[in-house]
Amino acid sequence: MNGAHFLVAFVFLALAASFAFASDPSPLQDFCVAINDTKDGVFVNGKLCKDPKLATAKDFFFSGLDIARNTSNPLGSVVTPANVAQIPGLNTLGISLARVDYAPDGGLNPPHTHPRATEILTVLEGTLYVGFVTSNPGNRLITKVLNPGDVFVFPVGLVHFQFNVGKTKAVAIAALSSQNPGVITIGNAVFGSTPPIRSDVLAKAFQVDKNIVDHLQKQFWYDNN
């Protein structure tokens, strides 16, 4: 095959590949307000959608992220989400928010992941020790102490946490790159699943005595979301 024929064949294959893998990651209309009632649903794009002509300001509105939450719980933290469950108009738009309140001197948003979103956290009040762990095989811990006005990014899917190291309450706002980022709290998932993971499986995975696993599985695993 001479050079000209090779070049033509290469361009053809490149174009074919681009068509094969082409996708449209953007919404196919201005908005797609999520609904549960199928009576007025006319579009499907992530969820069944309300007829755009019936959309109102209420579909795009949420109030309450200015309200401090009660952090009197085992973790000393509360997450107030503002995602598609609270704001139907977020459907297909790929973004959401959350307010996180931390109790003074030890309030913890425990190690967890968001399977569908990167998170960017802005501290409004207090001092937080935050961090995430990189994937195998490195498992590097990357941490930072944040003060009001500081911003930190948690890459999608990685285990991360926030811990209040200050003597006063802390407040942060998190923006996430999904209408429904999801959350998997590590302790809850591993030791508080329903039905429980077999204790001999966890004992071998964590290289601890089975009695330790049994003890952990009997604990009450609080969910701060």
| Residues making up the binding site | 109, 112, 114, 119, 160
Distance, in Å, from the CA atom of 97 to the CA atom of 177, rounded to the nearest integer, reads 9
Residue list, annotated binding site for Mn(2+): 112, 114, 119, 160
Let me know: does 133 contact 112? Beta carbons within 8 Å: no
DSSP string, 103-120: -TTT-EEEEEE-TT--EE
Let me know: does 43 contact 49? Beta carbons within 8 Å: yes
Q: Report how far apart the first and last C-alpha atoms of the chain are (Å, whole number).
A: 62
Residue list, annotated binding site for oxalate: 109, 114, 119
Distance, in Å, from the CA atom of 87 to the CA atom of 81, rounded to the nearest integer, reads 10
Strand order in the sheet with 141-146: 141-146, 128-133, 160-164, 108-113, 184-185
123: Cα separation from own chain's centroid: 17
